[in-house]
């Protein structure tokens, strides 16, 4: 609350003059009873009417007004007689209900009985209906015999305007206090004489944590030492003393720290002005307006520190870019350097300050600078980064190469500039040129190596093809048992040599990165069963058991089944080779996905494991077994043979398919090789039955074949095989000879050797396809090549060949390829024929049906006889294996034996055992009831023996 600037003297409460007159009138001796009224003469009445108050007498016993002067008319609009006429209803008529209730609740009678005055404010109705506020003062005027109050007299003053003025003043003070409490500054009045505040608004609570009442409760001289630290107290006291002499209208400011109630320090900024002066004109009280500048001072300090850091960073930045060997610069749109380090300035034999100056630098315009200018304009125009290799010609004529990066740099005001960083790559450029030359030389060497391997493959495969092919032809002739043995050993030696060649080529391809994995659907369970069926005879020869554990996977997967089969066959073959007793296990199971992988959802993870109970591998050689041409010990090569490429190839193929081949081994306990591969599942669909020989498109009965082969042995072999199948064969030893024959004769098929001297097979095939007769030009051509390179088949098929065969090939492979090519060719060139069947009498089905066999061999009864006797001679061993497996309840072995017998029975058309043999084949996966298995094996043996007996009857044994 604002106080007067001058001290006030104590004075009595202001009372209206009319009230003072009335009080003196009321203080006259009070007569009792009617004596008072009788003594009141005319002079007293005149005096009462002139008093500016309502003077009245009221009879409490009869509750009516006894007397009232004329002033009631000027205050309430009633005449005295009108009020007297109201009688007992006076109070109900003129008093406000609230005032009447207050009167009834008060203890007025007891107060008056003690001869004391009673005063209260009440609201009285004016004659015009408005309300007036009257201040009543009454005292007892007539007392009864026992001292009870019978009559009272008093005065009534109209204080309506006075109350309104007081209320307005109170409201003004309240509004002023509210305004001062909401201003964001601390407003206070400080008494210099008493050294204490006399006023403080509510802002002090947020500023220092004290309420205004707590601040003003401090004793004189005790507040400032409590709030201010010693050094601030002295400075603030000096400022206050100066304020005492401050002229009128001037102000002072001061910044000082003060303690908050919580103990923290707040920095304050105060503006001081004189508020009150004493009789001598000196300042007696000070008005202060204070702001909290704690955050501002912290911000200023941070700004100062930031400016210091920025200056330091700029100095550090300057030192860093000057220490870098790379030219760094900043250019404006006119090509002027705004920033340059020492490395850039040194190129021009200038200092950075000389290079960066107003206007364009004194640099000669050359082809280099013009090119730089165009690059800068490109960056400024497009806003895209520019990365390129640039040359710079030094003043002495030396050429240096730089890798330059130019980037758009936009200032805060939108100014576009070019920021450039160059790296000197002169030495790197020289190294790169040398490296490119070395790479070119290496590529030439690699191509030479690849050509050498291709030629070596061709030169080795060509005679191997003749050896294996002629061996197969000789086997079909009438030979003695010793001759059969010689041919078998010859074939095994050739097969071994072919395997070695394939291993060498596969190793070379892996090293050159020429192998790519394929993605074809296959069933892992069938793949494991096929591997086991191929190698189980070898295992039985050594007295070993080969067990397989297939995964519980119902769907096919996409993967490179050929490479996977190659790895598994290699690992199982090694296990058989290095194991003398015990068991070989080939396992596959579904495993959880690794924690970190990039394969899509739904990927199937399979773990393949091959374990044996063989020799084991010493720990010191475990890390070397995957190296090419490496074996566990030197004696291993002498005792077991081999090139040492198998595990190296397997490790490379597993890595190619996305896995890693691992091994754990213990000497004399065995070894385990394992790897995990990821496969995508194949959506299940209705399977299309495979084409059987009976449904195949038949070969022409009198087909004509053009055989183009420069090697005499291979030409004789192929001609012999084809003539045995009933084909008419015309041979050509070169490409030009084949073209000349093709011009004058028509052929159903062409077998073309690819590598021939002079005109190779590809050129000759293109010439054949250019024949003027479109039908003859469409004659299918099968490529025969000893170049077993990756992608060779795809390349030849893309160039127009209908089929592909890699030498050495077997008779059945040649037959299958010819059959597939001719079938595809006839489906394209001829409409499908419509076959009609005629009903026949029902008859008992025959034991076997050789019609498919005769169709495949062109009704060559000699070949049919050989096939029949091959079945007669090899089947008893399989039947014995079935019986042994049944006796031992070895369901896997029984399933393998059934698998071997199935292909023979299907080829001979033994329909009565079609379902039975397949059920027995599945015993390895689903073990049967022993009694049921015995019935099925008995049925298989009985029917098979009947078939063999019938074949002996149809094809009696011939004497040599």
pTM of the predicted model, to two decimals? 0.41
Report if residue 96 sits inside a domain.
yes
Q: Looking at the structure, do residues 619 and 675 belong to the same domain, yes or no?
A: yes
Lowest-pLDDT choice from 140-149, 467-476, 615-624: 467-476
Same domain, 286 and 337: no
- 691-695, 715-719, 855-859: which range is least confident on average? 691-695
Report whether pLDDT(690) > 50.
no
Distance (Å, rounded) from C-alpha 52 to C-alpha 119?
A: 18
Q: Which of 193-202, 615-624, 789-798 is most confident?
A: 193-202
Task: Tell whether the model's pLDDT for residue 106 goes beyond 90.
Answer: no
Do 538 and 670 belong to one domain?
A: yes
Residue recorded with tokens 């070969």: 699
Task: Give the per-residue pLDDT at 349.
Answer: 79
HEC string of 756-820? Answer: CCCCCHHHHHHHHHCCCCHHHHCCCEEEEECCCCCCHHHHHHHCCCCEEEECCCCHHHHHHHHHH
Question: Running DSSP on this structure, what letter comes out for residue 95?
Answer: B
pLDDT at 363: 59
pLDDT (0 to 100) of residue 126: 92
Q: Does residue 749 share a domain with residue 675?
A: no
Domain identity same for 73 and 152: yes
Query: For the residues 558-579, what does the mean pLDDT come to?
Result: 88
| Residue 529 and residue 669 in one domain | yes
237-251, 385-399, 457-471, 572-586: the lowest-pLDDT one: 457-471
Q: Which domain holds residue 883?
A: 851-954
pLDDT > 90? residue 512: no
Predicted pLDDT of residue 451 = 67
Banded model confidence at residue 599, pLDDT cuts 50, 70, 90: confident
Grade residue 552 by pLDDT with cuts at 50, 70 and 90: confident
823 found inside a domain: yes
Q: How many Å apart are CA 854 and CA 166, to the nearest integer?
A: 136
Give the CATH number, domain containing residue 723: 3.40.50.2300
461 lies in some domain: no
Distance CA 287, CA 879 (A): 124
Query: Is 632 domain-assigned?
Result: yes
Predicted confidence band of residue 510 (pLDDT cuts 50, 70, 90): low
476 in a domain, yes or no? no
The answer to whether position 67 is within a domain reads yes
Average pLDDT of the residues of the chain: 80
pLDDT at residue 832, rounded to an integer: 42
Q: Note the pLDDT tens digit of each residue in 419-460.
A: 999 888 888 888 888 888 888 887 777 677 666 766 666 667
Instruction: Judge if 264 and 287 occupy the same domain.
Output: yes
The residue count for the chain: 960
Q: Is the pLDDT of residue 875 over 60?
A: yes
Same domain, 716 and 755: yes
Read off the pLDDT band of 833 (50, 70, 90). very low
For the chain, what is the domain count?
7
Mark out the alpha helices in 245-293 (DSSP H runs). Answer: none
Q: Which string of DSSP letters, residue by residue, matches 405-461?
A: EEEEEE-TT--EEEEEEEEE-HHHHHHHHHHHHHHHHHHHHHHHHHHHHHHHHHHHH
Q: Quick check: is 469 in a domain?
A: no
pLDDT for residue 618 is more than 60:
yes
- Mean pLDDT confidence for 545-574: 86
Same domain, 47 and 139: yes
Region of poorest pLDDT, from 86-100, 172-186, 527-541:
172-186
Q: Which of 81-90, 343-352, 364-373, 493-502 has the lowest mean pLDDT?
A: 493-502
Q: Does 945 share its domain with 871?
A: yes
Q: For residue 19, what pLDDT is reported?
A: 47
pLDDT confidence tier of residue 609, bands split at 50, 70 and 90: very high
- What pLDDT sits at residue 268? 92
Name the domain boundary from 397, 424, 451. 424
User: Which of 78-92, 98-112, 137-151, 553-567 is predicted with the least confidence, judged by mean pLDDT?
Assistant: 98-112
Q: Cα–Cα distances in Å, from 503 out to 610, 643, 650?
A: 20, 9, 10
**pLDDT over 80 (residue 709):** yes
101-115, 127-141, 319-333, 643-657: least confidently modelled range: 101-115
Cα–Cα distance between 939 and 874 in angstroms, integer?
Answer: 19
pLDDT of amino acid 839? 39
Buried b (16+ CB within 10 A) or exposed e, 222-253: ebbeebbeeebbeebeebbeebeebeeeeebe
Alpha-helical runs (H) found in 476-523: 481-512
pLDDT of residue 698: 41
Q: What is the pLDDT of residue 614?
A: 87
CA nearest neighbour of 710 among 770, 762, 758, 744: 758
Q: Write out pLDDT tens, residues 309-332.
A: 888 888 888 888 888 888 988 988
| Least confidently predicted of 37-51, 441-455, 731-745 | 37-51
Mean pLDDT over residues 608-612, rounded?
A: 93
Burial class (CB in 10 A: 0-12, 13-18, 19+), 768: buried
CA 247, 250, 251: angle at the middle one, nearest 5? 125
Say if residues 338 and 331 touch (Cβ distance below 8 Å).
yes
Q: pLDDT category, 836, cuts 50, 70, 90? A: very low
Measured from the Cβ of residue 748, the count of other Cβ atoms closer than 10 Å reads 19
Residue that terminates a domain, selected from 243, 272, 292: 292
Paired residues of 252 in beta bridges: 272
Residue 236 pLDDT > 70 = yes
| Residue spans of alpha helices (H) in 257-366 | 294-323, 342-347, 352-355
Residue 708 pLDDT? 92
**Domain termination site, one of 829, 862, 883:** 829
List the CATH number of the domain containing 663.
3.30.565.10
pLDDT average, residue stretch 921-928 = 84
pLDDT greater than 70 at residue 79: yes
pLDDT of residue 612: 92
Same domain, 251 and 341: no
Q: pLDDT (tens digit, 9 = 90+) per residue, 375-426?
A: 888 888 888 888 888 888 777 778 888 888 899 988 888 889 999 998 888 8
The percent of residues above 70 in pLDDT, for the chain, comes to 81
Give the least confident one: 156-160, 257-261, 347-351, 681-685: 681-685
Distance between CA atoms of residues 666 and 669, nearest Å: 5
| 604-611/728-732 β-pairing | unpaired
Percentage of residues in the chain having pLDDT higher than 90: 9
In this structure, the answer to whether residues 108 and 126 fall within a common structural domain is: yes
CA gap 855, 621 in Å, rounded: 56
- Better-predicted residue by pLDDT, 562 or 481: 562
The answer as to whether 94 is a domain residue is: yes
Q: What is the pLDDT of residue 586?
A: 92
Q: Residue 227 maps to which CATH number?
A: 3.30.450.20
Specify the pLDDT at position 458.
Answer: 64
CA distance 921 to 544: 21
């Amino acid at each position: 609350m604002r106080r007067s600037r001058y001290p006030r003297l104590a004075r009595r409460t202001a009372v209206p003059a009319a009230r003072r007159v009335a009080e003196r009138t009321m203080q006259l001796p009070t007569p009792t009873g009617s004596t008072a009224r009788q003594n009141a003469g005319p002079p007293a009445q005149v005096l009462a009417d002139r008093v500016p108050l309502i003077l009245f007498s009221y009879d409490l016993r009869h509750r009516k007004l006894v007397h009232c002067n004329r002033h009631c008319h000027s205050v309430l609009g009633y005449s005295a007689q009108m009020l007297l006429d109201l009688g007992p209803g006076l109070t109900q008529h003129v008093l406000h209900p609230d005032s009447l209730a207050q009167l009834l609740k008060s203890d007025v009678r007891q107060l008056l009985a003690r001869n004391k005055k009673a005063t209260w404010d009440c609201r009285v109705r004016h004659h015009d209906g408005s309300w007036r506020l009257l201040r009543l003062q009454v005292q007892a005027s007539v007392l009864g015999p026992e001292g009870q109050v019978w009559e009272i007299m008093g005065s009534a003053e109209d204080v309506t305007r006075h109350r309104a003025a007081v209320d307005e003043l109170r409201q003004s003070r309240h509004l002023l206090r509210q305004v001062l409490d909401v201003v964001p500054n601390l407003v206070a009045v400080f008494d210099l004489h008493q050294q204490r505040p006399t006023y403080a608004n509510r802002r002090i609570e947020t500023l220092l944590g004290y309420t205004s009442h707590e601040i003003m409760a401090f004793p004189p001289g005790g507040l400032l030492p409590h709030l201010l630290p010693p050094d601030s107290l002295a400075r603030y006291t000096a400022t206050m003393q100066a304020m005492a002499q401050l002229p009128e209208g001037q102000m002072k400011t001061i910044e000082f720290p003060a303690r908050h109630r919580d103990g923290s320090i707040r920095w304050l900024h105060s503006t001081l002005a004189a508020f009150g002066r004493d009789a001598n004109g000196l300042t007696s009280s000070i008005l202060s307006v204070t702001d909290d500048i704690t955050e501002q001072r912290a911000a200023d300090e941070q700004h100062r520190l930031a400016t210091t850091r920025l200056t330091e960073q700029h100095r550090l930045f300057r030192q860093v870019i000057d220490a870098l060997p790379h030219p760094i610069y900043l250019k404006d749109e006119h090509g002027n350097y705004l920033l340059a380090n020492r490395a850039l300035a040194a190129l021009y034999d200038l200092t950075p300050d000389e290079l960066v100056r107003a206007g364009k630098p004194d640099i000669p315009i050359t082809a280099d600078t013009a090119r730089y200018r165009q690059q800068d304009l490109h960056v400024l125009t497009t806003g895209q980064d520019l990365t390129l290799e640039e040359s710079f010609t030094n003043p002495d004529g030396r050429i240096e190469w730089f890798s330059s990066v130019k980037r758009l740099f936009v200032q805060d005001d939108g100014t576009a500039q070019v920021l450039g960083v160059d790296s000197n790559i002169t030495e790197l450029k020289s190294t790169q040129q040398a490296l490119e030359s070395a790479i070119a030389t290496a590529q030439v060497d690699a191509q030479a190596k690849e050509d050498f391997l291709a030629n070596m493959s061709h030169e080795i495969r060509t005679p191997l093809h003749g050896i294996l092919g002629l061996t197969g032809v000789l086997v079909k002739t009438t030979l003695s048992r010793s001759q059969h043995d010689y041919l078998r050993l010859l074939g095994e030696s050739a097969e071994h040599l072919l395997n070695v060649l394939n291993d060498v080529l596969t190793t070379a391809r892996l090293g050159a990165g020429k192998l790519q994995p394929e993605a074809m659907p296959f069933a892992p369970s069938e793949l494991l069963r096929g591997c086991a069926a191929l190698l189980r005879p070898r295992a039985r020869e050594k007295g070993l058991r080969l067990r397989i554990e297939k995964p519980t996977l119902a769907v096919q997967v996409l993967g490179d089944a050929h490479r996977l089969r190659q790895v598994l066959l290699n690992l199982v073959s090694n296990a058989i080779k290095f194991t003398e007793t015990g068991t070989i296990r080939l396992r596959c199971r579904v495993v959880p996905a690794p924690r970190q992988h990039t394969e899509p959802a739904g990927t199937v993870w399979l773990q393949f494991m091959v374990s044996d109970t063989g020799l084991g591998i010493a720990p010191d050689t475990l890390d070397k077994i995957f190296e090419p041409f490496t074996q566990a010990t030197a004696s291993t090569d002498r005792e077991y043979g081999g090139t040492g490429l198998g595990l190296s190839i397997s490790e490379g193929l597993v890595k190619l398919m996305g896995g890693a081949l691992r091994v754990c081994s213990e000497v004399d306990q065995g070894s385990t090789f394992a790897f995990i591969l990821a496969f995508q599942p194949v959506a299940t669909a209705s399977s299309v039955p495979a084409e059987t020989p009976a449904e195949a498109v038949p070969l022409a009965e009198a087909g004509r074949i053009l055989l183009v082969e420069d090697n005499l042995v291979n030409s004789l072999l192929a001609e012999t095989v084809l003539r045995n199948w009933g084909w008419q064969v015309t041979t050509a030893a070169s490409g030009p000879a084949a073209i000349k024959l093709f011009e004058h004769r028509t052929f159903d098929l062409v077998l073309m050797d690819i590598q021939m001297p002079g005109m190779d097979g590809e050129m000759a095939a293109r010439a054949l396809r250019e024949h003027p007769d479109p039908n003859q030009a469409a004659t299918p051509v099968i490529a025969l090549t000893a170049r077993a390179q990756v992608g060779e088949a795809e390349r030849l098929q893309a160039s127009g060949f209908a089929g592909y065969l890699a030498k050495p090939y077997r008779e059945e492979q040649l037959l299958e390829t010819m059959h597939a090519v001719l079938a595809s060719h006839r489906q394209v060139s001829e409409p499908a024929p419509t076959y009609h069947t005629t009903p026949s009498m029902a008859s008992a089905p025959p034991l076997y049906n050789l019609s498919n066999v005769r169709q495949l061999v062109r009704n060559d009864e000699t070949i049919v006889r050989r096939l029949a006797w091959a079945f007669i001679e090899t089947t008893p061993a399989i039947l014995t294996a079935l019986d042994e497996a049944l006796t031992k309840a070895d369901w896997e072995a029984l399933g393998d034996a059934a698998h071997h017998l199935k292909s023979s029975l299907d080829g001979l058309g033994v329909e009565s055992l079609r379902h039975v043999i397949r059920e027995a084949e599945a015993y390895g996966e689903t073990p049967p009831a022993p009694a049921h298995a015995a019935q099925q094996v008995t049925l298989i043996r009985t029917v098979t023996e009947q078939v063999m007996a019938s074949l002996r009857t149809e094809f009696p044994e011939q004497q040599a």
